[in-house]
Amino acid sequence: MKSNPSRFIFLLFFATTLSFHTWGQDLRVGTSLRVITPDPLLPVSGGVGIPKPATEKKGDLFARAAVFEQGNERFALVVVDNLGWPAVLADKSRALIKGVKPENVLIAATHTHSAPDAYAFADESGKHGADLDYLDWCTQQIADAVNEASEKLTTAKLKIAYGEAQGKIAYNYYAPILYDPNCGVIQALDTNGKVLLTLINYAIHPEVIGNGRGILSPDVCGPLYDRIEEKAGGMALFVNGALGGMVTADNRRDNNQEANDYEECTRIGHLLADEALRIVADAPLAANTDLFVTAKQIEIPIESPLMKFILESSPLGHGQRGSETIKTQLNLINLGPAQFVTIPGEALPNIGYYLKRNMPTNYPFLLGLCNDAFGYFLTKVDFDSFKRYEYITRTSLGELSGETVIQGILEMVQESPKPAQ
């Protein structure tokens, strides 16, 4: 049979066009938010135990949602101003969300210690201080935010950057310099160059105020959001990183005292915002914004008596009563040259560094307290090894919790395509 050069050229053009259509489609981004400040105010939770009354507020609490879409792939990232947001609540929102697969809806918490209890922590008598009606209302607000963001999708380009945030922002309370100062930033811009979204990924306990001063607040994240949105426009979205053991806001004063007022929240929030904008300012537009999303279920052994009591005594129904393990979801996302992985709690900085150097990207994003928040994740060699680690050991699921999460994440990294270069 004689070859037909014209037919060959047509097929080559068709194949090239199909390849471009599959992998080179425009990225679209949509954002939305909902205020979730309770009215009247509710007691605030700083961790295990009964929440403490709040008599005033400093800033509103939010559920902020961003939806990313390319071709047939879509995912949503929601961040809630709360200590943590368990999967049992996240799943209620996922059931109400349209157009995004449930496993592609990532819901994280900022980890403010000045918001209502989302876990219904029970005391020894089984009493708890959570407002279940408020939590149900929040799940609807989260779903509404994602659904609205999906309706507002618009063609976008990305600026992606990663660098060290300078200044007095965070430190490790246990060992001052053992923390990750790096900050990942992604800006989504519309076709006119207008900022739609600025996403900041940084490891810090935003707990300048805490839960003992009668104040309900997003803490550091409130001024951070205000500053980003004032300077850059669009919506700001903060996602925590490997903040465990104990990476907290650097509110130390020269007299060895701590500043615990909203002025200090504002100083730290504004500084982190300014540093994030500095880091991303000169980043070029990403040439490739291909999107890949995957999810994985893992089971983590429950060895801690305290954590077992918390999970079994809460009226929310965290996991199966009497089970020796608990299931949770991990996600991996490639967004252009950046790669995200989720951590369902507070990983220690060494785990964060280890994961980052095993991620095939120059832009590693660790989304901490995402899809769940099961206390601290330590490696087995750190677990119960130092007196200083007594608290974080007690509030960890167990000796194998960190190893299980690391293994699950690295398996996803190895099984998934690499991010764009």
Tens of pLDDT, residue by residue, the chain (421 residues)? 444 544 444 444 333 333 333 356 999 999 999 999 999 999 999 877 788 999 999 999 999 999 999 999 999 999 999 999 999 999 999 999 999 999 999 999 999 999 999 998 887 777 888 999 999 999 999 999 999 999 999 999 999 999 999 999 999 999 999 999 999 999 999 999 999 999 999 999 999 998 889 999 999 999 999 999 999 999 999 999 999 989 999 999 988 789 999 999 999 999 999 999 999 999 999 999 999 999 999 999 999 998 888 888 888 888 666 789 999 999 999 999 999 999 999 999 999 999 999 999 999 999 999 999 999 999 999 999 999 999 999 999 999 999 999 999 999 999 999 999 8
Positive or negative CA dihedral for 169, 112, 77, 403? positive
Q: What is this structure's pTM?
A: 0.93
DSSP 169: S
What does the pLDDT read at residue 24? 63
Residue in the block written with tokens 């009226």 = 315
What does the pLDDT read at residue 129? 85
Structure tokens, 163: 């660098």
d(CA 9, CA 7): 5
Beta pairing partners, 359: none
d(CA 108, CA 85): 6
Distance from chain centroid for Cα 102: 17
At 321 the three-state DSSP class reads: coil
Distance from chain centroid for Cα 246: 17
Contact 177, 250 (CB under 8 A): no
Structure tokens, 35: 């205020």
DSSP 40: S
What does the pLDDT read at residue 397? 95
Structure tokens, 8: 């060959």
What does the pLDDT read at residue 320? 65
Contact 237, 80 (CB under 8 A): no
Structure tokens, 73: 């792939």
What does the pLDDT read at residue 194? 98
Residue in the block written with tokens 């880091």 = 279
